[in-house]
Structure 1
Amino acid sequence: MAYSAEKLSEEKVFKDPVHRYVHVRDLAIWDLIGTKEFQRLRRIKQLGTTFLTFHGAEHSRFNHSLGVYEIVRRIIDDVFAGRPEWNDDDRLLTLCAALLHDLGHGPFSHSFEKVFDFDHEEFTRQIILGNTEVNNVLLRVSPDFPKKVAEVIAKTSEKKLVVSMISSQIDADRMDYLQRDAYFTGVSYGQFDMERILRVMRPREDQVVIKKSGMHAVEDYIMSRYQMYWQVYFHPVSRSAEVILTKILHRAKQLFEENYTFKYEPIHFTSIFNEKVTLEDYLKLDES
């Protein structure tokens, strides 16, 4: 049996506070979850400095990535299966792209990127295409499979329908982080009727569309997103903490450029100040 079609002898599940369970039956997905590059996401906070405002917001990119995968799996297996507009040959490609879409995020996410001019999407591409455990797993599917996954995540793939499931205005990424961030921050703004939205999704040649009967569920989703941005993501305390962190990172960068010696620096600390950071050095960076 081809690796792309291999299943686990018994379904594996992750207990999840948002989706109740994350179901894994595909061997390739299970192998990807076990790679060191994916496991690294356990040490990358989903909301950066927001935990200083909402003390429960300690969840990670690992949690979120599994959640996005689970939503996409449900769309494919429960809603799209058997519909003529959906090509089931794209199933594993879509699941892998959903699982790996945030693979290249660094510590404190966007604050860190702005100071050091990093692009997490570029590092995601490097991890998928480079000499990594993730790449080795994807190569077992086919020689060109890593490239196909990277193109979906970069939104350059010709498979627009697959791209829209992971990156669009109503996609699995947004649906997971709104609910997950609401749960861990303890607010109610991120709640919307995802079950209804999933039921009224339909595949088309170049995008996912929503039936007219699902209009009110979509309106609820849009308002949920609006409220989460103003009440959580743009919270003044969270934003001020981000500004302080940014200034600390700028100061550290300045001291390095002035050849200041860091007395207690970790082995890999100064590598982030170099003009060209290797993938190996990048993967050592976390928030611990």
Structure 2
Amino acid sequence: MLFEKLPREKVFRDPVHNYVHVQHRVILDLINTPEFQRLRRIKQLGVSDYVFQGAEHTRFAHSLGVYEIAREMCDNFVNNYPTQTPGDGLWDDAERPVVLCAALLHDIGHGAYSHTFEHIFDTDHEAITRAILTDSHTNVNKILRGVGPEFPEMVASVINHTYPNPQVVQMISSQIDADRMDYLLHDAYYTGTKYGLFDLSRILRVMRPYSDGIAYEANGMHAVEDYVVSRFQMYQQVYFHPVSRGMEVILFHLLKRAKFLYESGQFESGFSPRLLVPFFEQTFNLTDYLKLDDGVLNTYFTYWLDYPDSILSDFADRFLNRRPLKSVTFTDQTAYLLPRLRDLVASAGFDPHYYTAENDSFDLPYDQYDPASANPKTQIEIMQKDGTLEELSTLSPLVAALSGRATGDKRFYFPKEMLATQDSNLFSPIYEKFQHYLLNGGLIDPHFND
């Protein structure tokens, strides 16, 4: 397998990792491909910069960070846990090429505005990642084939969680992996929050391979525990922020309206988004997909500000000029109020199919392994001095309190105008009735004025 070193190490400056060290020709060549460079034009946190103005970092920076953490893992393993005999469960550094390439390329299939785009056009970024790796027409595939004819499929199998070495898979995808550790640190840095900070150096120091994957030495348990809590806090305070979710609703409904206008033959030719047509028609191929990024969509949204359809132009304005929908939380017990709230929104002149939405965001901070579940998680194992393994939540009361408990909320989104006062010249009786339902239904919560 050809994985030659560069004559001189190349470094990328990074505010979280200080330097990202590139030591192999293949890694540098992959970074320089058009498919990877496209990630510079896709924001890591989607619309979160509407809440945290510094959050304009990219999938490109994150992917380099995941690569760097994976590289440090390999260095730690080869220095401290090198294999001595076949099957001893220690680290075989022949796995380094597939680890580094999988780490670097794990997000290469993310599309414009990532998850929101996926929901409206039914794309799958992991499937597209595998296609970019294995399609013989991509630059990435040509470079990977230079390592070995089967190498693209090997890297793709890591992304697909089918690679035969569980150590490699868990380094890239598990409840504590290079991907999660990097996005927590980068996202905390760029959002200006402290919730996602944890001791990366210590975790890497106490991480070790064993026959069934990755474990952590007992004297480093508190660093791992801190990571789990940090992840929990970032989801609650950053990723599930109600205003970010409100902007995602606007983006979703903006694309939904554009799709409807196209499918119903109402899109005027001068405004037709040519690069989106294959997605409206569900005929897109990999080349079509790779032409899109956040900037392309924003350009179309700017054109649509002047579109004669009032819903499309209004949502373009709401998205570009940060006019988020308002929200209140609801539960199974208060969900019966929502149809009446939608009726009042309609009575005020807003189409409820576009101007209302239900959004739920829940995360499992940590989960014990359950082979019977639909998507079993790889649990975090703590290795004792005698070599025995203990699952993290059995040792940590703090993690046990979070284990198996989904956290988050359900929100009902509506136009902020529905909170207009009597002093406005709007339909005040409708607005008063709407607010009456919010108050008496117990839907108002502490986040209402966020």
The TM-score bracket by the shorter chain reads over 0.9
Amino acid at match of 1:55: Q
Aligned partner of 1:133 in structure 2 is: 139
The answer on 1:258 being equivalent to 2:257 is: no
Aligned partner of 1:98 in structure 2 is: 103
Among 283, 294, 303, which residue is 1:276 paired with?
A: 283
The offset of 1:261, in angstroms, is 2.6
The offset of 1:189, in angstroms, is 0.5
Give a deviation string over 1:8-29, Cα, whole Å, max 9, x none: 1111000000000000010110
Aligned partner of 2:113 in structure 1 is: 108
The answer on 1:246 being equivalent to 2:245 is: no
1-side partners of 2:229 and 2:278: how far apart?
Answer: 42
The offset of 1:54, in angstroms, is 0.6
1-side partners of 2:25 and 2:259: how far apart?
Answer: 43
Aligned partner of 1:21 in structure 2 is: 19
Among 150, 157, 160, which residue is 2:156 paired with?
A: 150
Aligned partner of 1:159 in structure 2 is: 165
The offset of 1:62, in angstroms, is 0.2
Is the CA contact 1:79–1:199 (under 8 Å) kept in the aligned structure 2? no
The offset of 1:208, in angstroms, is 0.8
Give a deviation string over 1:177-211, Cα, whole Å, max 9, x none: 00100000000111101111000000112211111
Is the CA contact 1:80–1:203 (under 8 Å) kept in the aligned structure 2? no
Range with bigger deviation, 259-268 or 269-278: 259-268
2-side partners of 1:197 and 1:51: how far apart?
Answer: 29
2-side partners of 1:149 and 1:260: how far apart?
Answer: 44
Is the CA contact 2:2–2:146 (under 8 Å) kept in the aligned structure 1? yes
Amino acid at match of 1:75: M
Aligned partner of 1:121 in structure 2 is: 126
Q: Cα RMSD (Å) of the superposition?
A: 1.1
2-side partners of 1:95 and 1:108: how far apart?
Answer: 26
2-side partners of 1:275 and 1:267: how far apart?
Answer: 13
Taking structure 2 as the reference length, the TM-score comes to: 0.62
The offset of 1:78, in angstroms, is 2.9
The offset of 1:266, in angstroms, is 4.6
Amino acid at match of 2:49: F
1-side partners of 2:91 and 2:281: how far apart?
Answer: 46
Larger-Rg structure:
2
Range with bigger deviation, 218-227 or 74-83: 74-83
The answer on 1:176 being equivalent to 2:176 is: no
Q: Any idea what SS the aligned residue of 2:271 has?
A: coil
Unpaired segments ≥5 residues, structure 2: 84-89, 296-450
1-side partners of 2:283 and 2:134: how far apart?
Answer: 18
Amino acid at match of 2:70: V
Q: Any idea what SS the aligned residue of 1:209 has?
A: strand
The offset of 1:160, in angstroms, is 1.3
Aligned partner of 2:59 in structure 1 is: 61
Amino acid at match of 1:35: T
Amino acid at match of 1:252: A
Is the CA contact 1:108–1:287 (under 8 Å) kept in the aligned structure 2? yes
After TM superposition, the structure 1 = structure 2 runs for residues 20-99 of structure 1, keeping only pairs within 5 Å, are 20-81=18-79, 82-84=81-83, 85-99=90-104
Give a deviation string over 1:226-276, Cα, whole Å, max 9, x none: 110010000111011111111111111111111223423454121221223
Is the CA contact 2:70–2:100 (under 8 Å) kept in the aligned structure 1? yes
Amino acid at match of 2:31: I
Taking structure 1 as the reference length, the TM-score comes to: 0.97
2-side partners of 1:24 and 1:205: how far apart?
Answer: 29
The offset of 1:80, in angstroms, is 3.7
Is the CA contact 1:80–1:202 (under 8 Å) kept in the aligned structure 2? no
Q: Any idea what SS the aligned residue of 1:203 has?
A: strand
By relative contact order (CA 8 Å, sep 6+), the higher-ranking structure is 1
Is the CA contact 1:79–1:198 (under 8 Å) kept in the aligned structure 2? no
The answer on 1:287 being equivalent to 2:285 is: no
Is the CA contact 1:42–1:62 (under 8 Å) kept in the aligned structure 2? yes
The structure richer in helix per residue is 1
Give a deviation string over 1:141-180, Cα, whole Å, max 9, x none: 1110000000001111112110000000110000000010
Unpaired segments ≥5 residues, structure 1: none
Is the CA contact 2:188–2:194 (under 8 Å) kept in the aligned structure 1? yes
Amino acid at match of 1:83: P
Is the CA contact 2:6–2:23 (under 8 Å) kept in the aligned structure 1? yes
Is the CA contact 2:82–2:93 (under 8 Å) kept in the aligned structure 1? no
2-side partners of 1:159 and 1:257: how far apart?
Answer: 46
Q: Any idea what SS the aligned residue of 2:294 has?
A: coil
Q: Any idea what SS the aligned residue of 1:14 has?
A: strand
Is the CA contact 2:77–2:209 (under 8 Å) kept in the aligned structure 1? no
Identity among equivalent pairs (%): 57
The answer on 1:203 being equivalent to 2:209 is: yes
Q: How many residues align?
A: 286
1-side partners of 2:53 and 2:7: how far apart?
Answer: 40
